[in-house]
Amino acid sequence: MISNDDIAGKVVLDVGCNSGALTLRLASLHRPKWMLGIDLDGHLIRDAARHAQHEYSLVGGPDDEPGYFPDAMVAIHGSTPLPDGWRKDGYLVSSLSEVPNLVDRARKHVRWECDAVGAVLPGTLRFAAADVAKEDLSALEGKFDTILALSVTKWIHLHGRDNGIRDFFHTVYRLLVPGGTFIVEPQPFDSYLKSKLKKFNPPELQFRPDAFPAFLTSLGFDPLADTHPDPTTTARGFETRHVQRWRKRATRSPPPAPARQPRD
């Protein structure tokens, strides 16, 4: 679903990162140049930062092995302090206005910034509480090589309605570098219809997920892969979900920003 080439040495944005488990896993496995996980829920973002600090504390042994120490060691002795220079803010970004400078700084460094094989430092991974539907992201245009949107399109769609999900796809296009990769999980429309979501009146939505590919193509994306889960599998996780990979065309100028219209 997500290859090493999508992350390794790249500047990556994970939209709707939740508590950061997948974001941290990808950063640990694939060595991005810099990675940012964002989520609307500030509580989840603080959990993500604590999770990253916890994983950093478990690295040890003669080979700096991830998970060398048991969780109990952190419970008993507390987290390992981050190196000097990272202790004030840790893994958190207080404002997206900091991101352009952090990205530009990261791009100047050739070496993956860590002090152990599996340790991910704030110089490589950060988390921020942000609402992609409301934040002014103009300063981030053309900053990211890869953008992930996993288990999040349904929520953007339900809250922002049809205009909201279209705006989101426009935003992704503008934030990617030419030739950048967009990895998206277009959650099926039947998942919108669960009883607990009735308050959002999903049947009123006209722009259904099966229309997303045509819209992305019209924006200037080319399809790379469309991975469907094996219906017979009993496994769980993102590897078993419907995920699409798109590439932003390198030769087309960015489309104009969508006109601001009342939400559907």
Domain CATH for 31: 3.40.50.150
Q: Does residue 262 surpass a pLDDT of 50?
A: yes
Establish if 264 belongs to a structural domain. Answer: no
Q: Tell me if 153 sits within 8 A of 184, measured CB to CB.
A: yes
Residue 116, pLDDT score: 44
Residue 60, pLDDT score: 61
pLDDT band at 52 (very low <50, low <70, confident <90, very high): confident
Q: Whole domain around residue 125: which residue ranges? A: 4-248
Which has more pLDDT, 250 or 222? 222
Residue from 147, 50, 132, 46 nearest 96 by CA:
132
Q: Tell me if 8 sits within 8 A of 32, measured CB to CB.
A: yes
Establish if 255 belongs to a structural domain. Answer: no
Establish if 172 belongs to a structural domain. Answer: yes
Q: Does residue 233 surpass a pLDDT of 50?
A: yes
| Mean pLDDT over each residue of the chain, to the nearest integer | 84
pLDDT band at 63 (very low <50, low <70, confident <90, very high): low
pLDDT band at 33 (very low <50, low <70, confident <90, very high): very high
Establish if 125 belongs to a structural domain. Answer: yes
Residue 55, pLDDT score: 78
Task: Name the percent of the chain lying above pLDDT 90.
Answer: 56
Categorise residue 97: left if φ over 0, alpha if ψ from -120 to 50, beta otherwise: alpha
Q: What angle do CA 28, 29, 35 make, to 5 degrees?
A: 55
Q: Rounded to two decimals, what is the model's pTM?
A: 0.86
pLDDT band at 115 (very low <50, low <70, confident <90, very high): very low
Give the residue-averaged pLDDT of 107-117: 57
Establish if 261 belongs to a structural domain. Answer: no
Q: Which of 106-110, 181-185, 196-200 has the highest mean pLDDT?
A: 181-185
Domain count, the chain: 1
Q: What single string gives the DSSP state of each residue in 132-158?
A: TTTS--GGGTT-EEEEEE-S-HHHHHH
Q: Quick check: helix, strand or coil at residue 113?
A: coil
Establish if 259 belongs to a structural domain. Answer: no
Establish if 160 belongs to a structural domain. Answer: yes
Q: Does residue 204 surpass a pLDDT of 90?
A: yes
Establish if 263 belongs to a structural domain. Answer: no
| CA–CA distance, 73 with 57 (Å, rounded to integer) | 9
